[in-house]
A and B are shown apart, each in its own frame.
Chain A
Amino acid sequence: MNPSDPITGTHIHYFLVCPRKCWLSLHRLEQETGSDLVELGKLTHERTFTRQQLREVDVDGFLRIDFTSEGIVHEVKHGQSEEHAHRMQLAYYLYQLRLRGVQTHGVLHYPNQRRKERVELTPELEAELQQVLQQVEALRQQPLPPQVPRPMRICRSCAYEEFCWSENEEVGQ
């Protein structure tokens, strides 16, 4: 509905975690960040890095990169379960930066697991990213959000939980 809104790194991440979440976000149906996990994510951020390091970088108003240092892009995540989605999100930043003439690589930080992962925009990763970008565009054109038949494990910690599962079915209230 906002056809000119650029795809953000968050959209890429959402798409790979739950396309419904991606559709809702593309249609600006974001929910309040009341979720504990969102808060937890912020805490992980703040405890691990100093204020100095934690300057979010905003590229052209839609790429919000956690922080950069010495020309490297860093993304901080607190959970490991969505690893591939994180990697693709970072790949998307690298791709967008390359379109702007910046060649670099990135690092995913999992401070809770004391782990880092280096991410390069290899031809394979880029091909995969292109596919995802096409799918996200196609998803945006769909008139309705994709249906999810029943709550998934990740719904528990998703900001859209109350929206997606608001119906109380029949009896029992």
Chain B
Amino acid sequence: MKKSLYLTSSGTLSRDQNTLLLELETGEKRYFPIEQIGDIHCFGEASLNKRLLEYLTQQGVPVHFYNYYEYYVGSYYPREHNSSGFLTLKQAEHYLDESKRLDLARRFVRGALQNLQQVLRYYAHREKPVHPMIEGIAQVEAQLDDAASVETLMQLEGQAREMYYSALDPVLQNPDFAFESRSRRPPANRLNALISFGNSLMYTLALSEIYRTHLDPRIGFLHATNYRRFSLNLDVAEVFKPVLVDRTVLTLVGLRQIQPEHFGEELGGVYLNDEGRKRFLQAWEERLQTTFQHRRLKRNVSYRTAVRLELFKIEKHLIGEKPYEPFRAYW
């Protein structure tokens, strides 16, 4: 199975025969066999040249860049190597046909809401006072069928997310990691910083997996397509954020693996420092490699694979074979 390469320190990345060579500022050299690399995430300053980009294109390895504040900056997304004119037309058709687009958008939101409830149920079993929030989200879910526009669906999702976020303080009961309210740029406190970082990783994970399919990441359904930016990955991320990002954050804080000392304050915002980022990335990778039994494939699959399977389900929806049913977590 291919792995993500997370570059947290600054250095130069180049091609050295048939391996990737990373030269750190300290002069230290590290080699990575390219066949094992699924994608590359650059957090520090990275220097690279065209020869490397050509190599990455040939090997089908996307690169994602983040700035100092761990925001997603952009990706080097090698030209599609796997495209199917047939599927691309179907994808565009589902975007242009309003009822088809609405149907798909609703499926993404339903999946997201069900997984939000599932995460809260997990904590409800651990005696956390989150029943009212679960019910609140269920009520929003009941309104999805009546939503007549993608905008309404987005609003409903926003409402559900708010109720969900109001459960975080009762779940964590940790004054060092009070949530208060959602703040993005800049994150106003530690918990918000963790969620923002995790969401960036989720968006790039979905993007990398889309690269392994025939889907065009520029054509999303819930998130409006605009031809300069990726949006399908945002749709898919909604379904998985509760299960992958939020659970990672809550576990890291709950087990006190992330502490106040792992953050710094800058430009009026709160950010993970080097050590904090490393801890998060390690927990994230562990989460992605966690496996569960897949009934149809009759083997254990990782959550990372689950994201790819989700994309295949979307492909089957687009070609008209089977309506898309989002991934549901069962613990």
A residues contacting B by CB (< 8 A) are 1-2, 27-30, 32, 143-145, 151, 161-163, 165-169, 171-173
Contact = CB atoms under 8 A, between A and B. Distances in A.
Interface of B: 82-87, 89, 212, 214, 292-298, 305, 308-310, 312-313, 315-316, 319-322, 325, 327-330
Nearest to B324: A167
27 contacts: A2-B86, A28-B86, A29-B86, A29-B315, A30-B84, A32-B82, A32-B212, A144-B321, A145-B319, A151-B296, A151-B297, A151-B298, A162-B297, A162-B312, A163-B312, A163-B315, A163-B316, A166-B310, A166-B316, A167-B296, A167-B325, A171-B330, A172-B293, A172-B295, A173-B293, A173-B327, A173-B330
A162 B293 contact: no
Given A165-B297, A166-B296, A30 B82 contact: yes
Contacts, number: 73
A29 B295 contact: no
A162 B308 contact: yes
A162 B305 contact: yes
Given A27-B84, A162-B309, A162-B312, 9 more contacts: A2-B85, A28-B85, A29-B84, A29-B315, A145-B319, A145-B321, A165-B296, A167-B325, A168-B296
Contacts of B316: 163, 166
Nearest to B312: A166
Contacts of B294: 168, 173
B62 to A, nearest CB: 14
Q: Is the interface of A mostly helix, strand, loop or mixed?
A: loop
Most buried by A among B82, B295, B330: B295
Contacts of A143: 320
Contacts of A161: 297
**CB-CB nearest 10 A-B residue pairs:** A1-B86, A28-B84, A166-B309, A166-B312, A165-B296, A27-B86, A173-B330, A163-B312, A169-B295, A166-B313
A1 B83 CA distance: 13
Contacts of B85: 1-2, 28
Given A163-B312, A167-B325, A28 B296 contact: no
B215 to A, nearest CB: 11
Contacts of B329: 173
Contact of B295 (A2, A163, A168): A168
Nearest to A27: B86
Given A32-B212, A166-B296, A172 B330 contact: yes
A171 B292 CA distance: 11
Contacts of A28: 83-87, 214
Nearest to B81: A32
A171 B82 CA distance: 32
B213 to A, nearest CB: 9
A165 B306 CA distance: 12
Contacts of B308: 162
A127 to B, nearest CB: 31
B322 A167 contact: yes
Most buried by A among B87, B214, B312: B312
Contact of B89 (A1, A30, A145, A166): A1
A166 B294 CA distance: 9
Contacts of B327: 168, 173
A169 B328 CA distance: 10
A92 B310 CA distance: 37
A52 B206 CA distance: 42
Most buried by B among A2, A28, A30: A28
A30 to B, nearest CB: 7
Nearest to B296: A165
Contacts of A172: 292-293, 295, 330
A158 B16 CA distance: 34
A89 to B, nearest CB: 23
B328 A173 contact: yes
Nearest to A143: B320
A24 to B, nearest CB: 9
Contacts of A27: 84, 86-87, 319
A173 B292 CA distance: 6
B297 to A, nearest CB: 5
Contacts of A162: 297, 305, 308-309, 312
Contacts of A30: 82, 84
Nearest to B313: A166
A167 B87 contact: no
A147 to B, nearest CB: 8
